[in-house]
Amino acid sequence: NSRIALITGGTKGIGYEVAHHLAQKGIEVLIASRDEIKGEQVAEQLASENLSVTYIQIDVTNQATIDLAVTEVANAYGRLDILINNSTLYLKEPRPSDLPSEMIRQNFEVNFFGAIAVTNAFLPLLRQSSSARIVNISSALGSLDFHKKNRDSHFHCAYSASKASLDMFTLQLARDLQGTKIKVNGCTSDLATIELYYDHDHGHGMDAAIRSIVHLATLVDDAPTGKIFGLNFGEHK
């Protein structure tokens, strides 16, 4: 009767830590990534701590792997309670005037289209849950206000645009699913590059982000839906 959670990009960084925290809460965690060897290693490492963690292969840019994962989860559990779209691509980008179209497409394939593909594929299983939660991992770089206020920051145009689009999907999907038992929220860090520059963060931003994501993944039934939260749950715009 444990709740079932699936986390894309769950083998490192924020995804790994969130998987660890959810499993410690007694939630059965499915760590999804395209790297089968790494995924199996991480799952075995967490399982050695007597945590219920299993690897499942998903490449968010490959619909066949997504569909196969849906079938595996359906056969094993018959439902999904928590979906965390954490897979993210971040590339070193030139200025927008020199930005290749292919780099824009690469960012959107993972950060936006990948999240939509995984979410829509698993929606039938999420509907089987008594209280499903979808958490999309965004970024402060997806905020227009952030870029207006930080004119000296790096551009990151493709990455930022893909995360802004993910925020729009989060809000519209929540509206679409109003009246169901599925809550859809997003979570970002006000330290925009916390996972990208973790060595400079000393873990403080990482800890806050993990707490926020875990909280949204385990929301009570009367909690909000259709929100994008930053650190300390200040609403992200």
pLDDT of the residue at 195: 43
Q: Which CATH architecture has domain 4-229?
A: 3-Layer(aba) Sandwich (3.40)
- 126 within 8 A of 182, measured Cβ to Cβ: yes
pLDDT of the residue at 13: 86
pLDDT of the residue at 149: 79
pTM of the shown model: 0.91
- Cβ-proximal residues to 128 (8 Å cutoff; 6+ apart), any chain: 78, 79, 80
Q: Answer positive or negative: Cα dihedral of 47, 5, 129, 59.
A: negative
pLDDT of the residue at 53: 96
Q: Give tens-digit pLDDT for 92-141.
A: 899 999 999 999 999 999 999 999 999 999 999 999 999 999 999 998 88
Domain boundaries, the chain: 4-229
Task: Tell me which residues of the chain have a pLDDT lower than 50.
Answer: 190-202, 231-237
pLDDT of the residue at 211: 87
Which tokens sit at 175? Answer: 């509206």
* Sheet hosting strand 82-85, strand order edge to edge: 53-57, 28-33, 4-8, 82-85, 132-137, 182-187, 228-229
